[in-house]
């Protein structure tokens, strides 16, 4: 990645993360997600961040899904279409400090 792009991202990363706070999204973008319009968090944690609504650590290439970081917080649940991995008890990428670490690691290929 170009150094200018890295610098720009670093300068704006905190603003980006704060704009995806659940309370901010609920207030300014209530139609964007049913959770916002119903004031119902999908993960019951303080300072829930919705930037990674779809976790980049979720296996999409297997029928059942799954967790690439082997979080003990998830579990398989049965659905009418088969089993899926339920991550609703996991909050790793919904905490601002973890999001920042993750994004910076992707920028610098750590």
- The two tokens of residue 67 are 């967790």
Helix axes 3-19, 96-107, angle to 10 degrees: 160
**Taking 70 as the threshold, does the pLDDT of residue 110 lie above it?**
no
Q: pLDDT tens across 39-94, in order?
A: 998 888 889 999 998 888 887 776 666 777 777 777 788 877 777 777 778 888 99
Whether residue 49 contacts residue 94, with contact meaning beta carbons closer than 8 Å, is answered with yes
pLDDT of residue 26: 96
pTM for the whole thing? 0.76
pLDDT of residue 12: 94
- pLDDT class of 5 with cuts at 50, 70, 90: confident
At residue 100's C-alpha, the angle toward residues 97 and 104, to 5°, is: 145
**Taking 90 as the threshold, does the pLDDT of residue 99 lie above it?**
yes
- Cα–Cα distance measured from residue 44 to residue 63, given in angstroms and rounded to the nearest whole number: 27
Please state, as a whole number, how many other Cβ atoms lie within 10 Å of the Cβ of residue 93: 22
Q: pLDDT tens across 21-42, in order?
A: 999 999 999 999 988 999 998 8
């Amino acid at each position: 990645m170009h150094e200018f792009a890295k610098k720009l991202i670093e300068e704006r990363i905190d603003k980006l993360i704060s704009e995806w706070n659940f309370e901010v999204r609920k207030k300014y973008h209530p139609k964007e997600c049913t959770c916002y319009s119903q004031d119902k968090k999908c993960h019951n944690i303080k300072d829930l961040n919705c930037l990674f609504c779809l976790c980049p650590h979720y296996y999409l290439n297997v029928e059942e899904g799954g967790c690439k970081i082997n979080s003990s917080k998830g579990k398989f649940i049965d659905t009418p279409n088969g089993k899926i991995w339920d991550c609703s008890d996991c909050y790793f990428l919904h905490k601002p400090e973890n999001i920042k670490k993750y994004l910076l690691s992707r920028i610098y290929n750590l």
